[in-house]
Amino acid sequence: MLDGVREAVKKFLRSSADYETSVNLFIKELQKTLIKSDVNVKLVLQLTKRIRERALKERPPPGASRRDWFVKIVYEELANLFGGDKEPELKPPKVPWVIMMVGVQGSGKTTTAGKLARFYKVRGYRVALVAADTYRPGAKDQLRQLAERAKVLFYTEPGDDAVGIAKRGVEWAKSQGAEIIIVDTAGRHKNEAELLKEMKEMSEAIKPDEVMLVIDASIGQQAKALAEAFHKTTPIGSIVVTKLDGTAKGGGALSAVAVTGATIKFVGTGEKLEELEPFKPKKFVARILGLGDLEGLLERLKGLEEADKLEEISQKVLEKGDITLKDLYYQIVSVKKMGSLKKLLQMLPGVGLALNDKVLGQVDDKVLDKWLAILNSMTLEELEKPNIIDRSRMRRIAIGSGTSVKDVEELLKHYQMTRKMIRQLKRKRGMLNKLMEKFEL
């Protein structure tokens, strides 16, 4: 599904039409793709309305193009669709917690059951795996081996009474004090109806706290029908998207999310037992947007935004002709957010550079960390009126910031130097202005 989105983004970035026309074109294509993939129409309209509003209102920081900024907006809004900054709750709300895994054969269900077992085991839970896939030969043995490797409890029985095995397995696991019980189920049967019937019976027998749907990232459009069929039989509580390591796709998962209302909890990123990651919406969207250098782009934009803020602070400082410790503090915070000082030196234009050369040019990133700690340990009053900082205050600040009195002294010395420099600059500017007035320049 998101192939369409990816294409639209590419087209947008290449387009020679004016910005607003390109935005409108992109939005039309986005709507078409999402609606075609059965994403809820209302959801699509809300999403594109927000994108459009932001696209026309927001101004990128100097140095960034509007088109790059637009990609960032699309990325953020799509990520919101998947949950944004919210990350799913992985801690079971109660114990014992019974998870029933469902999904078609080959999706990675058994492997994921093993991975999940390990995930919770290393977080201190007593975990049990129950093998109730009686249809695929070897599925029980595969899970037994995974259970051994993850060092968790294991239950199965010979024969093909899948529902009975699941029921007795869950009871046994409870009697062993298991806190998380994971039941692996069949992914294929004589036909689909048989499979769904078995899932329904099993779910009625074991009453799972959570039904987890396993979807292979590469199945694309089919994800919707699949999720819908399972959801009708056994309401899906959460989703795992597997094999994200092998494909740049995974968009089908969005349809699965849309039809079930369930959230994606984990993603599988390899065959190994530890290759299971809690789902992070932003990372996922970056992947399906397929822009290889999206991260680089976002980082660059972030840098430019910070540079812009820093420039603004520096400009104010120069206009005032004075600097407070608070200004210094904000400057350092800004620099830290941008990454390293070196980067800053490359980015800061004009005034910032002049300021920066002398003021920050002699210090390295470690010193900045120290200064930040020191400034964080000062009271607001001290930040505004550094003159009140006597020896005893210095001692308190040093202790509070895990530094020494000498460090605090150094920072204050540096600050005084900066201040002197800024005042001189202001005077020079004043003189220059007067000269210019005189010669009517």
Residue 19 contacts residue 67 (beta carbons within 8 Å):
yes
* C-alpha atoms less than 13 angstroms from C-alpha of 2 in its C-beta half-sphere: 25
Assigned token pair, 115: 């991975």
Nearer to ligand GDP, 72 or 140 (CB): 140
Which amino acid appears at position 395 of this protein?
R
Q: How far is the CB of 270 from ligand GDP (least distance, A)?
A: 5
Q: How far is the CB of 142 from ligand GDP (least distance, A)?
A: 6
Q: How far is the CB of 185 from ligand GDP (least distance, A)?
A: 9
Nearer to ligand GDP, 272 or 316 (CB): 272
Assigned token pair, 269: 């990123």
- Write out the residues near ligand GDP by the rule CB under 6 A: 103, 105-111, 187, 242-243, 245-246, 268-271, 275
Nearer to ligand GDP, 148 or 271 (CB): 271
Nearer to ligand GDP, 15 or 247 (CB): 247
State which residue has the least CB distance to ligand GDP: 268
Nearer to ligand GDP, 33 or 110 (CB): 110
Residue 171's closest CA among 128, 142, 124, 134?
A: 128
Q: How far is the CB of 124 from ligand GDP (least distance, A)?
A: 24
Q: How far is the CB of 277 from ligand GDP (least distance, A)?
A: 10
Nearer to ligand GDP, 6 or 115 (CB): 115
Nearer to ligand GDP, 132 or 389 (CB): 132
Nearer to ligand GDP, 96 or 103 (CB): 103
Residue 238's closest CA among 204, 201, 278, 272?
A: 278
Nearer to ligand GDP, 116 or 153 (CB): 116
Q: How far is the CB of 241 from ligand GDP (least distance, A)?
A: 9
Name residue 169's beta-bridge partners: none
Q: How far is the CB of 37 from ligand GDP (least distance, A)?
A: 23
Q: Which residue has the tokens 């037992």?
A: 273
Q: How far is the CB of 275 from ligand GDP (least distance, A)?
A: 6
Burial of 59 (C-beta count, 10 Å sphere; 0-12/13-18/19+): exposed
Q: How far is the CB of 138 from ligand GDP (least distance, A)?
A: 9
Which residues neighbour 175 within 8 Å (Cβ) at sequence distance 6 or greater? none
Q: Are strands 180-185 and 127-132 parallel, antiparallel or unpaired?
A: parallel
Residues composing the chain: 441
